[in-house]
Chains A and B, each alone.
Chain A
């Protein structure tokens, strides 16, 4: 289970302020803290804190200052592909691009970029129209993304399909469809694409967010989930990821498995 720490995001007030003030400290603090929590990748998202035209420069800066303190690979999270490319140029180790929808113009921009910079790529099962409700229509988009990987020469196991989970309080019927989509994605190619979720979405604006997150994580892992963008400092949640690895026989059991899972 690959944990992509979600915390370095301009939507959070401390990170937004840090971006506006060019203050490296909060970003570096969260890089280290998430690594300690169990993150394998760090998601990096400026959010709306930086004006569009300044984003390439901002991503370059974020990448540099985070890599000063952490060796974790980075997951560059933006809809602004110039910003992502600016960040990719400064990565010390292969990273991840978050993300591309199944839209032809964006596919043509992002897939070659992933190949050029040896990055993994998150593909979203949606297009301009939006997110489909059922698993079958999510898979239609997933197939387009897998075909694009083949077309542009990205290894299919470097493609992470995100079937897009929605908040369970307002879009409850999506949750089981996403589980089904994860199962189906694993049958699309050999080697199979990987799967990823923006986990915290499932509990947006619900009480007991932590409980909902970790319950869904366990369910999604059983369906074949490979990675999650999630709260790497929710210890109970990371414990679920570690335990899931054991119960799926993906890591060899040892009494200290919870501790070993967090060691880098």
Chain B
């Protein structure tokens, strides 16, 4: 395994791990940051796949604009997912 192949495997692994974390985190602000990290690593992969225009667009739109729009939406709504760990009664999940 030479250096380029190792870097490809590393970036794909980081991308999949940040996608799993973006789905699993209950803090929606952290989830939006994880989604921006997925777009950033995908942009690096686009650059390594010899598509520099797609890489520039993905870095500008996916990592910056989409995350900013998500953060504005989170500011207008609520930040945390509602969790039901405090043992509610049976009527809560009707």
Q: Do A and B bind?
A: no
- A→B interface (CB under 8 Å): none
B interface vs A, CB < 8 Å? none
